[in-house]
Amino acid sequence: MTQDRLGKMLTREKAQGERAAVKRLLATLGFESPKELSEFVSVQREAEQAALSEVERREQAAQERELQAARREELAGERERAALRRAALVALGSHGEDLVDAERLLAVDDEDAGEAQFQSAAEALRARRPELFGQVRTPVAAAPAGAPAGRGPTRTAPVVKAGAAGLEMARRRGLIGESGGSPAR
């Protein structure tokens, strides 16, 4: 018997056992099929809802309206804070993509922050990141020899002609003159 065949047999037996258990449960509860059980449950739920008095239904509706009003109020507060944040940044000169970046960087800890707190936080951000407000930072001075800051200059050796070292040595020893001709005697 292969592993695959054994696995299929066990799966079939398990499914058969589950079906038998469901049938036994349905018979115990007095139902012929799962569909009858689901219909019974839905009828019971409708009966419970109908059994609630008119006052209880009104109370539930009032509670739902209160929750919705609280959600709307919370969303309005978030929109107001976003508008205050954006207004403070625009007043300092931020716009376009920089405005979006500045909005993400603007940090105000207080949930009930007012216009003054957003303004002071925006000014602090402007001091830290002036490029977000249309100001250009002073460029960092380049390293010697035109290399980028933080790296040393590149080492470039002068171009040497073939045989130049030998001619220079002969000149120092006096074998040839300064102009490259025969030595002056």
Residue 181, pLDDT score:
64
Running DSSP on this structure, what letter comes out for residue 52?
Answer: S
pLDDT band per the 50, 70, 90 thresholds, residue 154: low
| Average confidence (pLDDT) over 79-105 | 81
Instruction: Please state the separation of Cα 131 from the chain's center in Å.
Output: 22
**Mean pLDDT value of segment 102-109:** 74
pLDDT-derived band at 104 (thresholds 50, 70, 90) equals: confident
Ranges 38-47, 74-83, 174-183: which has the least confidence: 174-183
Instruction: Tell me the domain boundaries of the chain.
Output: 71-134
The answer to whether residues 172 and 178 touch, using CB atoms and an 8 Å cutoff, is no
pLDDT at position 163 is 84
| Burial call 163-180: b when 16+ CB within 10 Å, e when fewer | eeeeeeeeeeeeebeeee
**What's the confidence (pLDDT) of residue 68?**
96
Q: In this predicted structure, what is the pLDDT of residue 141?
A: 66
Give the HSE-up count for residue 125: Cα atoms under 13 Å, Cβ half-sphere. Answer: 28
| The two structure tokens encoding residue 95 | 């716009």
Is the separation of the CB atoms in 177 and 170 below 8 Å?
Answer: no
Nearest to 122 by CA among 113, 80, 76: 113
Closest to 118 (Cα-Cα) out of 128, 107, 129, 127:
107
pLDDT band at 11 (very low <50, low <70, confident <90, very high): very high
14, pLDDT greater than 90:
yes
Helices (H) and strands (E) in the chain, counts: 6, 0
Mean pLDDT of the chain: 81
